[in-house]
């Protein structure tokens, strides 16, 4: 009984948390395979782990949120934030940009922001309104930077594998800086609703394409419940595939979506037996 209750809690948290995006949803009465359940556990573990420098490597959309009257550290000096929204209820304003984090190959890391400079204190002369770059380090869940004699330690929260929030409160100036990062150039989401039918030893697989760009699909299969999946076919352009089974054989199937940025997690698992 305790195990059943624990399972229910995990599924409730994962499928209803707004920042999480798990494709395989369950309906009343569904039976979940060990493969899908392990994917969910892996997703939870990766998403809730402490952020490290390697997690940031890549290109991200960035949304910066500041106090309504000035930039980080500017106190009552009103900063002219290029591209920022109008203040919302005199509480905050936002602007969007793009930032790329890279590994320098020697154990250190750096970033380059495309149009603005969202991470540093503004001096009231518009220094935050130009592209900038700098070294950074991740230590125990803190995003650390140093520039122009000032040091910064942002709290880093991993909301999912593709969303990270960096936040900093500057008590002396009563200002704040919140940076939301959403990763770009992602592998596809998982195919859904994989279904298998059989007629005269011919298995027909059908599935639903995920949203976003998919270049092709890969079908994995195994012939025993405890066996390992092997690639049955790859490079499929359609959302259907046919396979042949000998009489008395049971086969398990799972489908993966592929694009230029990588491979999705797997679809639901189906199995079918040839009579």
* Tens digit of pLDDT at every position of the chain (275 positions): 333 333 333 333 332 233 545 555 666 666 667 777 777 777 676 666 789 999 999 999 999 998 887 666 655 556 678 888 898 998 999 999 999 999 999 999 999 999 999 998 775 555 788 899 999 999 999 999 998 788 999 999 988 888 999 999 887 777 899 999 999 999 999 999 999 999 999 999 999 999 889 999 999 999 998 899 999 999 999 999 999 999 999 999 999 999 999 999 899 999 999 98
Q: Give the model's pLDDT for residue 33.
A: 74
**Token reading at 131:** 């592209």
d(CA 191, CA 254): 9
Q: Give the model's pLDDT for residue 1.
A: 39
d(CA 232, CA 176): 53
| Collapsed DSSP state (helix, strand, coil) of residue 9 | helix
Element (H, E) at 257: strand 250-259
Instruction: Check: CB of residue 239 under 8 Å from CB of residue 191.
Output: yes
d(CA 275, CA 249): 8
CB within 8 Å of 242: residues ≥ 6 apart:
202, 203, 204, 205
Which one, of 89, 78, 67, lies nearest residue 176 by Cα?
67
d(CA 141, CA 31): 37
Q: Give the model's pLDDT for residue 6.
A: 33
Q: Give the model's pLDDT for residue 163.
A: 92
d(CA 87, CA 99): 24
pTM of the model: 0.73
Q: Which domains does the chain have, with CATH numbers?
A: 53-183 (2.40.128.20), 186-275 (2.60.40.10)
Q: Give the model's pLDDT for residue 156.
A: 96
Element (H, E) at 190: none
**Token reading at 142:** 């803190």
Instruction: Check: CB of residue 205 under 8 Å from CB of residue 242.
Output: yes
d(CA 275, CA 268): 23
């Amino acid at each position: 009984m305790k195990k059943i209750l624990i399972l229910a809690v995990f599924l409730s948290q994962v499928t209803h948390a707004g920042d999480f995006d798990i494709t395989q949803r369950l309906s009343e009465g569904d039976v979940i395979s060990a493969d899908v359940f392990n994917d969910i556990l892996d997703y939870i573990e990766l998403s809730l782990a402490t952020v490290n420098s390697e997690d940031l490597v890549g290109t991200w959309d960035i949304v910066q949120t500041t106090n309504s009257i000035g930039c980080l550290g500017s106190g009552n000096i009103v900063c002219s934030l290029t591209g920022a929204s109008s203040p919302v209820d005199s509480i905050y304003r936002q602007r969007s940009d793009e930032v790329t984090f890279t590994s320098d190959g020697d154990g250190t890391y750096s970033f380059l922001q495309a149009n603005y400079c969202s991470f540093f204190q503004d001096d009231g002369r518009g220094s935050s309104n130009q592209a900038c770059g700098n070294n950074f380090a991740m230590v125990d869940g803190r995003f650390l930077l140093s520039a122009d004699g000032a040091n910064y330690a942002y709290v880093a929260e991993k909301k999912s594998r593709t969303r990270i929030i960096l936040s900093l409160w500057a008590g002396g100036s009563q200002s704040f800086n919140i940076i939301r990062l959403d990763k770009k150039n992602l592998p596809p989401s998982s195919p859904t609703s994989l279904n298998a039918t059989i007629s005269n030893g011919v298995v027909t697989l059908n599935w639903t394409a995920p949203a976003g760009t998919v270049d092709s699909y890969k079908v994995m299969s195994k012939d025993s419940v405890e066996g390992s999946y092997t690639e049955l076919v790859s490079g499929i352009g359609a959302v259907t595939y046919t396979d042949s089974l000998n009489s008395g054989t049971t086969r398990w199937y799972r489908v993966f979506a592929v694009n230029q940025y990588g491979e999705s997690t797997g679809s639901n698992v189906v199995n079918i037996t040839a009579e």
